[in-house]
Amino acid sequence: MLNWHATDQSIWQGRNDLAEASNALRIFQTLTQSQHFTPEAFPDAIALLGFQCDEGVKLNQGRAGAEQGPDHIRRALANLASHAGHDRLVDLGNISAQNISLDEAQLALSSAVKACQVKRMRTLVFGGGHETAFAHGHGLYHAFPEHNIGIINFDAHLDLRSSPRATSGTPFRQLAQYCQDNQRPFNYTCVGASLAANTQALVDEAERLQATVIWDTECEEARIEALHAQIQQSLDRVDKIYLTIDLDVLPAWQMPAVSAPAPLGMPINLLLQLIKPICQSGKLQAADLVEFSPPFDINGQGAKVAARLAWQIAHWWRLSGE
């Protein structure tokens, strides 16, 4: 696997409460650490993969630093309590973009995702910039050529840019082109997008692709039932779901450590309410958290928020057939 390496085992550590009770467990004690990329050894588990890359962020003129994100999220996740679902987590290491092109790094992640998915693993990826999404989605489409796959993106940005090169702003346009080239439906829902952060050209592209867009100004507690209904419609029309969360969908005061902090954003309590039915649908096949940039974190606040989202996804993740 190009540019793959196992996670440093020292990352997974935390408080030991076993003297208190045999079930006083934390993530670092129940997660499986693999020193080899062997997805065939872990069917029906959740493969935790890191994508150490922010080349797409740089090409999109954003603040670099997301390549450091995966291990920082791991450290924040390690000490959280382990409950149902967390024992399914298997750390299958990182893919780095060092000394290779962005296209090569994305192909490596896509291949790793496909390898996991065809061996009955689900994939939880820590980015990296949102260029992670093209690689993650591409691997999923390749693993399930006969299935109708839906993308639900929680993001302040539509990420449908037109560019001669892949960037963190192009992943869903790239996936739309892949679907067109392979006669596959493109089902894309973006929740929390900011009209102030997306040009009319991007809005027009979303309309052309018949994407479902739920703007940040619509994401209010008072509209929770309507929001659930819209997301349910996205779930109902597909076989499998790829959930991607760009952490800049959160307000800047909750998530300062991203390339483009959101002045409005969707608070984490509302975000959690909206992802819960996705995780519990039995259709969630892949998920990722992207754009976390440790150089801009404040007292580890952003890492803790990202880790809590990862914790909740794994806890709520109902596998098909359960």
The answer to whether position 11 is within a domain reads: yes
Alpha helices in the chain (DSSP H): 27-30, 55-59, 69-78, 102-118, 132-143, 171-181, 200-208, 224-236, 268-279, 301-316
- In angstroms, the Cα distances linking 271 to 91, 168, 187, 245, 249 are 25, 22, 20, 10, 9
- Is 155 annotated among the ligand-binding residues? yes
Q: How confident is the model at residue 2 (pLDDT cuts 50, 70, 90)?
A: confident
**So what's the pLDDT on residue 180?**
98
- Is 236 annotated among the ligand-binding residues? no
CA gyration radius for the chain?
18
CA gap 101, 81 in Å, rounded: 38
For the chain, give me the number of helices (H) and strands (E)?
10, 10
Q: How many domains does the chain have?
A: 1
**So what's the pLDDT on residue 1?**
74
CB atoms within 10 A of CB 298: 10
Q: How confident is the model at residue 246 (pLDDT cuts 50, 70, 90)?
A: very high
Residue 181 is part of a domain; what is its CATH number? 3.40.800.10
- Is 44 annotated among the ligand-binding residues? no
**So what's the pLDDT on residue 9?**
94
Q: What is the DSSP letter of 251?
A: B
The answer to whether position 125 is within a domain reads: yes
Interior angle at CA 233, CA 229 and CA 237, nearest 5 = 165
CA gap 240, 234 in Å, rounded: 11
Task: Choose among 143, 216, 128, 205: nearest CA to 174.
Answer: 205
CA gap 241, 236 in Å, rounded: 10
The answer to whether position 75 is within a domain reads: yes
- Distant-in-sequence contacts of 204-209, Cβ < 8 A, 24+ apart: 205/158, 205/160, 205/162, 205/173, 206/158, 206/160, 209/160, 209/176
8 A C-beta contact, residue 189 and residue 229: no
Dump pLDDT digits (tens) for 277-288. 999 999 999 999
Strand partners, 5: 94
Range of the structural domain that residue 260 is part of? 4-316
- Is 248 annotated among the ligand-binding residues? yes
Residue 321 has pLDDT above 80, yes or no: no
Give the residue-averaged pLDDT of 225-248.
Answer: 98
**So what's the pLDDT on residue 320?**
74
Q: How confident is the model at residue 292 (pLDDT cuts 50, 70, 90)?
A: very high
The answer to whether position 280 is within a domain reads: yes
The answer to whether position 321 is within a domain reads: no
Dump pLDDT digits (tens) for 155-211. 999 999 999 999 999 999 999 999 999 999 999 999 999 999 999 999 999 999 999
Dump pLDDT digits (tens) for 86-117. 999 999 999 999 999 999 999 999 999 999 99
- Is 54 annotated among the ligand-binding residues? no
177 contact partners, CB below 8 Å, separation of at least 6: none
- Write down the pTM of the prediction: 0.97
**So what's the pLDDT on residue 194?**
98
Q: How confident is the model at residue 322 (pLDDT cuts 50, 70, 90)?
A: confident
Give the residue-averaged pLDDT of 214-234.
Answer: 97
Dump pLDDT digits (tens) for 43-91. 999 999 999 999 999 999 999 999 999 999 999 999 999 999 999 999 9
